[in-house]
Amino acid sequence: MTALLPSASRPSDRTPAPPHVELAGVTRTFGTTLALAGVDLAVPAGSLTVIVGPSGCGKSTILRMIAGLDAPDSGTLRIAGDDVTARAAGERDVAMVFQDYALFPHMTVEGNISFGLRLQARHHRRSGPGRDEIRARVGEVCALLGLDNLLHRRPAQLSGGQRQRVALARAIVRRPALLLLDEPLSALDPQLRASARAEIRRLHRELGTTLVLVTHDQHEALSMATHLIVMDQGTVAQSGNPGELYRHPCNELVATFLGTPRMNLHDRDGVRIGWRPADGRSATHRDGVPPGAFLVDGVVESCEFTGDGQHARCAGPDGTFVLVQREGESWLEPGDTARVTVPAARLHRFGPDGRRLP
């Protein structure tokens, strides 16, 4: 089913926040492979920005560059208005949560969370945090993430969800202006992923920190982002409000990447017509076709029950398509003839080059 868009992603009359992170003309190659091809993008201050795209599109390379773990071959990277292109990772007010969490196995939860602060205190004896401040900040972040009763355990004694919270706590306790998350939920089972998504959204609201998250999961991206960036082969395909990208994709890649089940596409008179499976309505030959509506016929090949509805997969003269049917509708069955109408306002049109047409 299509991911529900968060309230923060709905259009508003507020003035967009200025960019916290800016990439201008950034390129990066690895051997003969072009990972980033002149990328221009902006991360609004205070946003929960999600960078999404298929494997190999360059999203993790961008995150590593923002963190200072990799450097561009050309181009400029700014954080809070400062050019940090050549600045070391330790000189940027940035914290990162890695995909595998990278916890120290020999340390307790408390030791893992306080490690960065203790290093800071050791290297900056006059300006660094004291013991009491470290203890207070660790206690504060553990209360925020529900880790109070796990302080003396080691990573091997924790579940996947608990390890993820410890990794978040270790990053948050430093109070960075910018928090980076690299596929933070990929190791969790589906039920834990749902609760972890909600937890990250809550943390973003409460902390007010600019957060950049990388994922290949479009459902995760749509359900979490306040600002969405879709990558394609080392370039930014489209960026902006998640609802706008979903409703008005700029090209076929964005249209078919966002949304589950994926958008249906049909060739008609040199134009590609697209429609979301949930926007179609089952009809019969006796029913009239609304003015401007798109009509497609087929035969049901299979049906997938989803709990609150079903996905009917059909094949017809215009190719295959999927129709989402809700609870209470007269459901189609394999072998049935499917006739579907789609309102004109719900149609998407793409030219031969894949770009959206007016």
Asked whether residue 249 falls in the same domain as residue 272, the answer is no
**pTM of the entire structure?**
0.86
Domain that holds residue 91: 7-254
Query: What CATH number is given to the structural domain containing 339?
Result: 2.40.50.140
Provide long-range contacts, Cβ within 8 A and 24+ apart, for 23-27: 23/62, 23/65, 23/75, 23/76, 23/77, 24/75, 24/76, 24/77, 24/78, 25/74, 25/75, 25/76, 26/62, 26/65, 26/72, 26/74, 26/75, 26/76, 26/77, 27/72, 27/73, 27/74, 27/75
Contact 274, 351 (CB under 8 A): no
Where does a domain end: 218, 233, 254?
254
Please report, in angstroms and rounded to a whole number, the separation of the first and last CA atoms in the chain.
Answer: 27
Distance CA 19, CA 45 (A): 5
Asked whether residue 24 falls in the same domain as residue 164, the answer is yes
Asked whether residue 206 falls in the same domain as residue 313, the answer is no
How does pLDDT run along the chain (358 residues), one tens digit per residue?
444 444 444 444 455 556 899 999 999 999 999 999 999 999 999 999 999 998 889 999 999 999 999 999 999 999 999 999 999 998 898 999 887 778 999 999 999 999 988 888 887 776 678 888 999 999 988 888 888 899 999 999 998 888 888 988 898 888 888 999 998 887 777 777 888 888 889 889 988 899 999 999 999 999 999 999 999 999 999 999 999 999 999 999 999 999 999 999 999 999 999 999 999 999 887 777 888 899 999 999 999 999 989 999 999 999 999 999 998 888 999 999 999 999 999 999 999 999 999 8
Asked whether residue 186 falls in the same domain as residue 275, the answer is no
Is 357 a domain residue? Answer: no
Asked whether residue 144 falls in the same domain as residue 275, the answer is no
Asked whether residue 211 falls in the same domain as residue 270, the answer is no
Could you count the other beta carbons within 10 Å of the beta carbon of residue 122? 9
Is 182 a domain residue? Answer: yes
H-assigned helices in the chain: 59-67, 109-123, 131-145, 160-172, 190-207, 218-224, 242-247, 252-257
Is 311 a domain residue? Answer: yes
Distance CA 47, CA 324 (A): 32
Query: What CATH number is given to the structural domain containing 92?
Result: 3.40.50.300
Kindly tell me the burial class for residue 20, based on how many C-beta atoms sit within 10 Å of its own C-beta (0-12, 13-18, 19 or more): buried
Number of compact structural domains in the chain: 2
Report helix angle 160-172 to 190-207, nearest 10. Answer: 20
Cis bond leading into 261, ω under 30°? Answer: yes
